[in-house]
Structure 1
Amino acid sequence: MTIYGYARVSTKDQNLARQIKALNDAGCEQIFREKVTGTKRERPQLEALLETVKEGDVVIVKDLTRISRSTKDLIELVELFGKKGVGFKSLNESWLDTSKNDAVSKLMFTIFAGLVEFERNQLSERTLEGLAVAKANNKRIGRPSKDKANIEHAISLWENGRHNIKDICKITGVGKSTLYRKLKERGLK
């Protein structure tokens, strides 16, 4: 029997450290790590995990949102693990432990998986409502725009030809992609 862990974050900027520590503390012998949005069906490390596990193994995740995209997706994964004779546990959702393989665990899994999806949908609805209210009140949504004076300063430094892009960005605080976009808009790059 081998205990495997699966850790995932949605973006490359996010850190897996918290999940990895929890999985190590739970006794995972090998941890599959992934930096890809959960909404994508293609998750190479999850596929590798599914190919690796065998009867008697256990898969542990920090929480259900790390491995599943929806209740349906979670149920399909747990059924797949079950067909292979692999147990599945969630550290945050301690009620989920299919390695026990009893009726109560199966019932709890079905009920709480639905609740997890319900909570995720509620959060999404509240976010959309908040965005609609902000838009109706003419609030700007998204990242704050860069100071126009800094952008103009960056463009003038570029036109002078005495500084490279890296130095201009450091001097003005304007990001490289912003500067390139503004130069392109003005036909300077």
Structure 2
Amino acid sequence: MGKIYGYMRISTKKDEQTFSRQEAQLLGKVDKLYFDRMSGAKKNRPQLQEMLSSLEAGDTVLIVAIDRLSRSTKDLLEIVETIKSKGASLKSINDSWLDTTSDNPMSEFLLTVMGALGQMERAMTIQRVKEGVQVAKEKGVKFGRPKANKTKVNYALELYYSGALTVREITDITGVSKATLYRKVRELEYHG
């Protein structure tokens, strides 16, 4: 029989969050406890990566709840696949359906369904974004960087070529960025 590793995670966004609740449920049930203090959406969770790399065949990862392991279906499925590829298992205390310690057909089925729902959710999000952009374009919304005000740019160029002011002073007076000013100067010198 392998080792049992516990994994806990709390978000850094909420200062009042502590590991106490998770720790109380895991202590006494695990050989070693790993924990990260960061958003579940972040890919690079050092303690999770360390735990996953130390897994061996027959080991079990015990978590309190699925949302403590991952915030996205895709990420969860990748973690589960990593655990399974090591010959290890995953078990959740609160999500009783999530138990890969034995050949549990219901657990496999629900993971497959979650994967399909995750793909569908991503596809729907992409579709909604495309539709939103199209509606916005039809209403006249312009996308991309706003064009610089020609009057301001011309005034900035006049000041630049007068040589009386520094570039910083010109940008402060006109509100034209240094990048825009230098780009226009290069265009004039190249085409002039």
What TM-score, normalized to structure 1?
0.56
Please tell me whether the aligned partners of residues 8 and 35 of structure 2 are also in contact (alpha carbons under 8 angstroms).
yes
Between Structure 1 and Structure 2, how many residues are aligned? 118
Residue of structure 2 in register with 1:155 after alignment:
none
CA distance in 2, matches of 1:104, 1:65: 19
The equivalent of 1:100 in structure 2 is 102
1:19 correspondence with 2:22: yes
Distance 1:102 1:110 in 2: 13
Amino acid at match of 1:110: T
Residues 70, 117 of structure 1: 8 Å contact kept: no
* Counterpart Cα distance in 1 of 2:10 and 2:116: 22
* Residue identity matched to 2:4: I
Paired letter, 1:87: S
Tell me what 1:8 maps to.
9
- 8 Å contact from structure 2 (residues 74, 118) kept in 1: no
How far apart are the structure 1 equivalents of 2:11 and 2:21? 14
Q: Deviations 1:39-69 (Å, cap 9, x if unpaired)?
A: 1111000011011111100001111111113
Matches of 2:7 and 2:67, distance apart in 1: 11
Offset of residue 115 of structure 1: 7.5
Structure 2: where are the runs of 5+ without partners?
Answer: 121-192
Residue type of the alignment partner of 1:2: K
Give structure 1 stretches of 5+ with no counterpart.
Answer: 119-189
Structure 1 runs (4+) greater than 6 angstroms displaced: 113-118
What TM-score comes out, normalization by structure 2 length?
A: 0.55
Structure 2: distance between partners of 1:10 and 1:34: 8
Q: 1:39 to 1:101 in 2, by over 3 A?
A: same
Partner of 1:72, secondary structure, is: helix
Q: Distance in 2 between matches of 1:45 and 1:102?
A: 28
CA spacing shift, 1:10–1:39, aligned 2, 3 Å: same
How much identity, in percent, do the aligned residues show? Answer: 40
Distance 1:113 1:6, change over 3 A: farther
SS of equivalent residue, structure 1 residue 33: strand
Structure 2 residue aligned with 1:183: none
Structure index of larger Rg? 2
7-16 or 106-115: bigger deviation: 106-115
| Letter of the structure 2 residue corresponding to residue 7 of structure 1 | M
How far apart in 2 are the matches of 1:81 and 1:112?
17
Preserved CA contact (<8 Å) 1:71 1:114: no
How many Å separate the matches in 2 of 1:21 and 1:117? 35
**Cα RMSD (Å) of the superposition?**
2.5
| Conserved 8 A contact 1:87-1:98 | yes
Question: Counterparts of 1:116 and 1:94 in 2: how far apart (Å)?
Answer: 20
In 1, the alpha carbon distance for the partners of 2:93 and 2:119 equals: 17
Q: 1:80-116 CA deviation, whole Å, 9 max, x = no partner?
A: 1111111001111001101113433201333367779
